[in-house]
Amino acid sequence: MEQKLVEIQVYGAEQLCASCVNLPSAKETYEWLEAAVARKFPNQPFTIKYVDIYQPPEDEAIKLFAERVIEEDMFYPVVLLEGNIVGEGNPKLKTIFSELEKFGYKAV
């Protein structure tokens, strides 16, 4: 299977969501996830972006999803992989790694 360059987006905010008080911040989750994916799939390119739901970039699709996170009271961070939600609140590496493997990533 040919590997595709996958984009991971982590949506969150500086302030922890009410149900996520004892969990890492969205920014910490973003940094942790970036390191974990790079370690599990070395030399396999991917992009990862952090999106502040209260200050999203001008990209319309990103803005719309950031609004959805707020309006639907999603537990953040919300992790998207190629536009699909793969984690919310306390994302699981096993789930994210499994999704990456569907795109041809090979665990080391």
Q: How confident is the model over 42-88, as pLDDT tens digits?
A: 999 999 999 999 999 999 999 999 999 999 989 889 999 999 999 99
108, part of any domain: no
The number of domains in the chain is 1
Q: What's the pLDDT at 20? A: 64
From the CA atom positions of the chain, what is the Rg in Å? 14
Q: What is the pTM of this model?
A: 0.91
Q: Could you tell me if residue 1 is inside a domain? A: no
pLDDT, residue 16, reads 65
Q: With 60 as the cut, is the pLDDT of residue 107 above it?
A: yes
107 domain-assigned = no
- What is the structure's pLDDT at 84? 95
Q: Among 20-29, 48-57, 84-93, which is the least confidently predicted range?
A: 20-29
**Residue 34, domain extent:** 6-102
Alpha helix (H) residue ranges in the chain: 26-40, 60-71, 93-102
pLDDT of residue 66: 96
pLDDT at 23: 76
Which CATH number covers residue 82? 3.40.30.30
Q: Which of 49, 37, 45 is nearest to 12 (CA)?
A: 49
**31 phi and psi, to 5 degrees?**
-65, -40
Q: 3-state secondary structure string, 19-49?
A: HHCCCCCHHHHHHHHHHHHHHHCCCCCEEEE
